Amino acid sequence: MPGDNSPLSGSGLESPARSAGPAGGTTPARPKAAAQPSLARVAGTTLHLWLRRRVLRVPDGSRVSPARWAVLAVAVLVVAGAAAGLTVGLAGSRAAAVARHHLAGPKPDPARTQLIATEQAAAAWIATQVETGTAVTCDSAMCGYLASAGLPAAQLTALAPGASLPAAAGLVVATATVRGQTGAQLTGRAPEVIAAFGTGPDAIQVRVLTGGTPSAFLATARQEVAASAAAGRQLIHRGLHVGGAAERELLAGRVDARLLVVLSRLLAAHPVYVAGFGDGGPGASWPTPLRSVTIDRLVSGRGKHRVSDLTAVLKLLGGQPAPYRAKVTQVQLSGSRTGVLVQFPAPGSP
C-alpha cells in the first residue's frame, strides 16, 4: 500500500544489481579507471620534491616562501646558461680545430722532404762545380732539377726506362731510380764518385763515366796519382811554401794535375805560399783530386814599405790558356790578409 514505509525484502532485493546481458542475463558494472598523470607532471613533481629536500632542505609539508623559490629559479637559470655556453664554446672550439686542419692541409712527409732537399743539393753542386759542356745522364726528375739549376738541355740525357748508360764519357747522376735500372753496369762503367749527397736508399752519387773496364780505370788512376805525387815533390824542392795537411795531400798525389801546372808557372815568377787545397767534392771516393788551392801572403812588408804580388798573380792566372784557365776569386784570410782562391771545375783528373 502507498502508506507502508517498512523495508522491502525478498530474494530479488538481497542480490546485487545486475545489468542486462546479451542473453537477457545480467553482468556486474565495471568501475571507472582513474586518470593517469602525464610524464611531464611526474617529472615536475619529482624535481619539485628533490629541490625541496636536497637544495632548500625543507621537510615535506612545510611551506616555502616565494622569495626562496625565486632565488632558486635564478640560480637554475644561471647554471643552465653556463652549461649552454660551455656546449657552444666546445662546439666552436671543435669547429675552429676542424677549420685549422683543413686550412693547414695534409702534414708533410719527412722522407719526401728530405729527398727533395738531397736532389736540390746535388743539382746545385753540379750546376756550380761541373765543367761547362760536360754531358750529364740522369733520370727524368733529376734532369728537371738540373735544368732548373741552369744546365742547358743539350748537356742533359734523360735515361729512359730499360735503357743502358750512354757509351760517351761524362757524368751520371746515380739516384735510386738510376741505380735500380743500371745495376752492376753503373759501378762497372762509372766507378769513381766525385760527390755524394744524402744517405740510405735515397742517396745520390755523381759518378764519372769511363770508356774502359774497371781494372783499366784503376790502373790508369794509380799511374796518374803517382805522377801527381812526383810533381808535388818537385814543387816543394823548387821552393813552394806548403805545410801541414796541404803538404801531405800534395805528396800523396791528391792534387789536380791542372793545379800543379798553374802552381809551377806561378812559382817561376813569384814566391807561392799555399794555405790549403780543397774542392774534393762531398763524399768523393779515391782518386777524386782536390781541384782548388788558396794562395796566401801575396802582400808582404809593414807600414808604408809593402810589396804586393796580388796584381801580378791575378794577371798571370787570368792569362792562362785552356785547360788551365781557372776561376779566380779574392778571399779574406785571418789577420785581414788578402788571398786568392784558384778553382778548377769537375771532374778533372789527377
* Mean local confidence (pLDDT), 179-186: 94
Confirm whether pTM is higher than 0.85. no
**pLDDT beyond 90 at 69:** no
Which pLDDT score is estimated for 300? 74
* Segment among 117-131, 147-161, 303-317 with least mean pLDDT: 303-317
Which pLDDT score is estimated for 53? 60
Confidence label for 150 from pLDDT (cuts 50, 70 and 90): very high
**pLDDT beyond 80 at 42:** no
Which pLDDT score is estimated for 310? 92
SS3 content of the chain, % helix, strand, coil (to 5): 45, 20, 35
Confidence label for 81 from pLDDT (cuts 50, 70 and 90): low
Between residues 341 and 104, the one the model is more confident about: 341
Q: Report domain extents, the chain.
A: 51-82, 111-212, 216-343
The per-residue pLDDT for range 156-171, each reduced to its tens digit, is: 999 999 899 998 889 9
Between residues 72 and 160, the one the model is more confident about: 160
Radius of gyration of the chain, Cα coordinates, nearest whole angstrom: 50
* Mean local confidence (pLDDT), 302-316: 83
Between residues 94 and 165, the one the model is more confident about: 165
DSSP structural state of residue 166: P
DSSP structural state of residue 255: B
**pLDDT beyond 90 at 284:** yes
**pLDDT beyond 90 at 186:** yes
Show contacts of 102-105: CB within 8 Å, 24+ apart: none
**pLDDT beyond 80 at 302:** no
**pLDDT beyond 50 at 286:** yes
Between residues 180 and 104, the one the model is more confident about: 180
- The grid coordinates of residue 287 equal 782518386
Mean of per-residue pLDDT scores for the chain: 81
Buried-exposed string 4-34: b where 16+ CB fall within 10 A, e elsewhere: eeeeeeeeeeeeeeeeeeeeeeeeeeeeeee
3 state SS for 179-229: HHHHCHHHHHHCCEEEEEECCHHHCEEEEEECCCCHHHHHHHHHHHHHHHH
* Mean local confidence (pLDDT), 90-117: 70
**pLDDT beyond 70 at 36:** no
The per-residue pLDDT for range 223-246, each reduced to its tens digit, is: 999 999 999 999 999 999 999 999
